[in-house]
Chains A and B, each alone.
Chain A
Amino acid sequence: MNIEGVKISEILERYPAKPEYLIFLLQDIQKQYGFISSETMEQICDRTGVPLTQAYSVATFYQSFRLEPKGEHEIKVCLGTACHLKGGPRIVNELERRLGVKAGETTSDMKFTFDTVNCLGACAIAPVIVIDEEYHPNMTAQKLEKQIKTLGQDMTEVSEVLGHA
């Protein structure tokens, strides 16, 4: 087994081998690897005794599970009611336009994964976005550009590369 395989077995053994621990395992695996590959899914099913089809039905039912690898940076835009009223949709449009991907997708160079979330409960600082687990309050189109630049990535370059200038 490779190193990755060893780690997976470690995670699998964190919980008793029962179907009720399926979601726990999916969460832990995703935390470790960023997504759930078809191989790990099979291993999870072997461990918990859940049929593969049912495991996929669970993984696709819940929004937080990802079956594709995610980009280097993860951008989440809050679309709770307060963020909606204070300009969240504008941030979404701006990101879609600049990155050339829709919410839920990853740029083809695997730099950015961009998604929306329902509500982060940080309404006082709406609209809020989270880049790699760090909250950015009172977001505007201008600030957004700066934030992406500080990630060492000029957004205009990204869009040029992708042909979405």
Chain B
Amino acid sequence: MPKENVAIKSENWRLNSHKDLNDLQKDIIESRDPNRLEVVVCHGTGCIANGSPKVSSAIRESLLGAGINVKLMPGIKTTGCHGFCSRGPLVIVRPHGFFYQRVTPKDAEEIVKKTLMEKQPVERLLYKNPKTGKTILTEKEIPFYSLQERIVLHNIGKVDPTDIKDSIASGGYQALAKALCSMSPEQVVKEVEKSGLRGRGGAGFPTGRKWRSALKAIEKKGYPAYVVVNGDEGDPGAFMDRTIMEGDPHAVLEGLIIGAYAIGAKQGYLYVRAEYPLAIKHLEIAMEQAREYGLLGENILNTGFSFDARINRGAGAFVCGESTALFTSIEGKAGNPRPKYVRSVEEGLWGKPTVLNNVETWANIPLVIEKGADWYSKIGVPKSTGTKVFSLVGKVNNVGLVEVPMGIPLVKIIEDIGGGVIGGENFKAVQTGGPSGGCIPYSLKDTPVDFDSLTKVGSMMGSGGMIVMDKHDCVVDIGRYFLRFLEEESCGKCIPCRLGLIRMRKILDGFSSGTGTKQDIDDLISLSQALQDGALCALGSSAPNPILTTLKYFNNEYLSHIENHKCPAGVCKELITYSINADKCTGCRSCARQCPKQCISGDKKKPHVINTENCIRCGICMETCKFEAVIVS
């Protein structure tokens, strides 16, 4: 059988030329029956947490029990994150493309019987457009997907990330072969420069310019030089890089090897957060397989170019996402940043010239090389080319991972792709850029999402977290949250960051407990300036962004905390009271049973009352009530 041939070849056959790679790709594709039934089960972290491994094993069991001829047995493939996390676990049946959502192990039998044997869709598992009420059959027709432009994510959800052959079949390593076999390093750098690609990690520094600076530094200082993947995705609410590493590790690796070729590096590092065990596992497998196929290690594709890489697991320090802190961490030390009088591209890891790019940036490189800078730069807008992956989270209907062309209006992402805010109202604010970014209010909903426009409104692109907030979210509380986060993560080396953050947080504590004054707002602003000017690294200098943007766009909400001692969103504990709406309360006693202070009383089936004196305002009653009878004021 042809399939076995491929397996045998891959074991003894190192790829020695671009032709070898093409032949292998052809062999793999030809050995596959395009009409073969295949059940694709999402095994991203979100779907796994929702029980997708149980779904795939239930489908496997049902298949075995169904007595299907072995030759006609449908395959089961587990892939990386499909992105539509709020609808997980997701199952797609190919070649029809039926898209099933919120699948449970109980549904396995019906999927096997109805779809795999009778070729009919299981109606109740299909996605229903909440706006039109129409049932949608395939992934492509769902607005969440149809409005996206998935080029970096194109393989994720299609290929098995633990099988290099799957990756090669869909064009993996073609760009590497093209670069190594038919381009000079100089041509590679030029192509990246021409593409306009900017770093996806936050600041948006042009990637090509960074590579060029590395070459200049190497000219001065000589080799060794290093290439490094920044996979320390620390921004809370962001999981783009995790998904790429988990779902298409070969794309990251391919980009890294191309980068190494461009600057002549022999050694690379992948620095990945320890909180992402699956990403680490998939990268390890990918590297091992790439070595077997002669795509990594000595004499890659028999071109004479040698390069290898290793993974460094992070150990739980947000500041290590900062370039100089990341390098010290790879060197085995505490991740303290250093002043950047000399840029890290000149004096990086071990004091040598180093190109550090974010995961998503590296995953863009193969696209730029394979399809060309002209193709790439046509996507997006002139100064922000290409696409950007965002993790759309918070109070939005369609939570998940989206990839859109740069320059798309913010509202389009939230309303059209994200399906709007839960409950149907307008969003209050969108927080982009994590703790270094800002809150964009609804009035700026048409802001184009690109590097420069976001900076102009006081926020930043950041790595791509997009957190949607509604009227129940308090801007003072979110400011406190980010400051506390940064206060804990500050390495403590420089004073503005170490002490400034604590002072700023204490002022916000005052607002949320009703003891703040107007003078405090002025103090906040001057402290913010001190941090922006004086902090050693971006952790401190960008820390005031969430505060400054909320002060600018939600000033009234601050004033309400200060002057009226009221939290309009009903979040700040010391300014709110919980009570029960007697008209809605059914007297089911759920809240009374859950109340940790036993301060809810009332007879069964009669409206209950909260004793506000003992109430610690934990909010459990509100969370428990199914009739929305608990109100906060």
- List residues of A whose CB falls within 8 A of some B CB: 18-24, 26-27, 48, 50, 54, 57-58, 61-65, 79-82, 84-87, 90, 93-94, 97, 117-126, 128, 135-137, 140-142
| Interfacial residues of chain B within 456-488, with CB under 8 A of chain A in the complex | 465, 467, 469, 473, 478, 481, 485
Contact of A23 among B49, B312, B618 (CB under 8 A): B312
Q: From B240, which residue of chain A is reached at the shortest CB distance?
A: A121
Q: How far is the CB of B47 from chain A (nearest CB, A)?
A: 9
A97 touches B334 (CB 8 A): no
Which 4 residue pairs of A and B lie closest in terms of their CB atoms, listed nearest first? A124-B85, A121-B239, A135-B49, A63-B316
Binds A, one of B198-206, B230-238, B281-289: B230-238
Q: How far is the CB of A85 from chain B (nearest CB, A)?
A: 6
Task: Decide if B431 is an interface residue (CB 8 Å cutoff).
Answer: yes
Task: Decide if B50 is an interface residue (CB 8 Å cutoff).
Answer: yes
- A140-B623, A142-B594 in contact; A20/B86 too (CB < 8 A)? no
Task: Decide if B371 is an interface residue (CB 8 Å cutoff).
Answer: no
Binds A, one of B354-362, B394-402, B440-448: B394-402
Please measure, in the bound complex, the distance between the C-alpha atom of A117 and the C-alpha atom of B312, giving whole angstroms.
Answer: 20
Please measure, in the bound complex, the distance between the C-alpha atom of A65 and the C-alpha atom of B88, giving whole angstroms.
Answer: 33
Q: From B334, which residue of chain A is reached at the shortest CB distance?
A: A61
B465 touches A58 (CB 8 A): no
Please measure, in the bound complex, the distance between the C-alpha atom of A117 and the C-alpha atom of B399, giving whole angstroms.
Answer: 21
B49 touches A128 (CB 8 A): yes
| Interfacial residues of chain B within 300-321, with CB under 8 A of chain A in the complex | 312-318
Task: Decide if B46 is an interface residue (CB 8 Å cutoff).
Answer: yes
With a cutoff of 8 Å between Cβ atoms, the chain B residues found around residue A118 in the complex are 234, 236, 275, 316, 318, 485, 489
Best-surrounded residue of A48, A54, A126, A141 (most CB of chain B within 10 A): A141
A81 touches B275 (CB 8 A): no
Q: How far is the CB of A41 from chain B (nearest CB, A)?
A: 14
Q: How far is the CB of B505 from chain A (nearest CB, A)?
A: 15
Please measure, in the bound complex, the distance between the C-alpha atom of A20 and the C-alpha atom of B328, giving whole angstroms.
Answer: 9
B315 touches A94 (CB 8 A): no
Could you jot down 23 A-B contacts, CB within 8 Å?
A19-B331, A23-B313, A61-B317, A62-B334, A64-B316, A65-B315, A81-B393, A81-B481, A82-B237, A84-B481, A85-B395, A85-B478, A87-B623, A90-B619, A117-B316, A119-B235, A122-B46, A122-B49, A123-B399, A125-B46, A125-B85, A126-B393, A135-B49
A22 touches B332 (CB 8 A): yes
With a cutoff of 8 Å between Cβ atoms, the chain B residues found around residue A50 in the complex are 332
Task: Decide if B511 is an interface residue (CB 8 Å cutoff).
Answer: no
Please measure, in the bound complex, the distance between the C-alpha atom of A97 and the C-alpha atom of B616, giving whole angstroms.
Answer: 12
Total cross-chain contacts (CB, 8 A):
152
Task: Decide if B527 is an interface residue (CB 8 Å cutoff).
Answer: no
- A81-B467, A121-B242 in contact; A57/B481 too (CB < 8 A)? no
- List residues of B whose CB falls within 8 A of some A CB: 45-46, 48-50, 85-86, 88, 233-239, 242, 274-276, 312-318, 329-336, 391, 393-395, 399-400, 431, 434, 465, 467, 469, 473, 478, 481, 485, 489, 491, 594, 596, 618-620, 623-624
With a cutoff of 8 Å between Cβ atoms, the chain A residues found around residue B236 in the complex are 79-82, 84, 118-119
A63 touches B481 (CB 8 A): no
B623 touches A20 (CB 8 A): no
Chain A contact residues: helix, strand, loop or mixed: helix
Please measure, in the bound complex, the distance between the C-alpha atom of A38 and the C-alpha atom of B348, giving whole angstroms.
Answer: 33
A87 touches B624 (CB 8 A): no
Q: From B431, which residue of chain A is reached at the shortest CB distance?
A: A81
A64 touches B334 (CB 8 A): no
B334 touches A137 (CB 8 A): no
Contact of B315 among A18, A23, A86 (CB under 8 A): A23
With a cutoff of 8 Å between Cβ atoms, the chain B residues found around residue A80 in the complex are 236-237
B238 touches A121 (CB 8 A): yes
A122 touches B332 (CB 8 A): no
- A126-B393, A128-B49 in contact; A63/B332 too (CB < 8 A)? no
B88 touches A124 (CB 8 A): yes
B45 touches A64 (CB 8 A): no
Please measure, in the bound complex, the distance between the C-alpha atom of A58 and the C-alpha atom of B276, giving whole angstroms.
Answer: 21
Q: How far is the CB of A57 from chain B (nearest CB, A)?
A: 5
B331 touches A20 (CB 8 A): yes
With a cutoff of 8 Å between Cβ atoms, the chain A residues found around residue B473 in the complex are 85
Known: A20-B330, A64-B274, A121-B45. 18 other contacts (CB 8 A): A21-B332, A23-B313, A50-B332, A58-B334, A61-B334, A80-B236, A81-B236, A90-B619, A93-B618, A119-B239, A121-B242, A122-B45, A122-B239, A123-B85, A135-B48, A137-B50, A140-B623, A141-B623
With a cutoff of 8 Å between Cβ atoms, the chain B residues found around residue A120 in the complex are 45, 275
Contact of B237 among A58, A94, A119 (CB under 8 A): A119
A141 touches B45 (CB 8 A): no
Contact of A141 among B276, B465, B620 (CB under 8 A): B620
Best-surrounded residue of B49, B50, B235 (most CB of chain A within 10 A): B49
B237 touches A125 (CB 8 A): no
Q: From A141, which residue of chain B is reached at the shortest CB distance?
A: B620
B335 touches A62 (CB 8 A): yes
Please measure, in the bound complex, the distance between the C-alpha atom of A90 and the C-alpha atom of B395, giving whole angstroms.
Answer: 17
With a cutoff of 8 Å between Cβ atoms, the chain A residues found around residue B618 in the complex are 90, 93-94
Please measure, in the bound complex, the distance between the C-alpha atom of A136 and the C-alpha atom of B49, giving whole angstroms.
Answer: 6
Please measure, in the bound complex, the distance between the C-alpha atom of A84 and the C-alpha atom of B480, giving whole angstroms.
Answer: 11
With a cutoff of 8 Å between Cβ atoms, the chain B residues found around residue A82 in the complex are 236-237, 393-394, 399, 467
Q: From A140, which residue of chain B is reached at the shortest CB distance?
A: B623
Please measure, in the bound complex, the distance between the C-alpha atom of A86 and the C-alpha atom of B314, giving whole angstroms.
Answer: 27
B467 touches A85 (CB 8 A): yes
Q: How far is the CB of A158 from chain B (nearest CB, A)?
A: 14
Please measure, in the bound complex, the distance between the C-alpha atom of A136 and the C-alpha atom of B315, giving whole angstroms.
Answer: 23
Q: From B472, which residue of chain A is reached at the shortest CB distance?
A: A85
A124 touches B86 (CB 8 A): yes
Please measure, in the bound complex, the distance between the C-alpha atom of A143 and the C-alpha atom of B316, giving whole angstroms.
Answer: 28
With a cutoff of 8 Å between Cβ atoms, the chain B residues found around residue A126 in the complex are 393
Q: How far is the CB of B570 from chain A (nearest CB, A)?
A: 13
Q: How far is the CB of A162 from chain B (nearest CB, A)?
A: 15
A20 touches B334 (CB 8 A): no
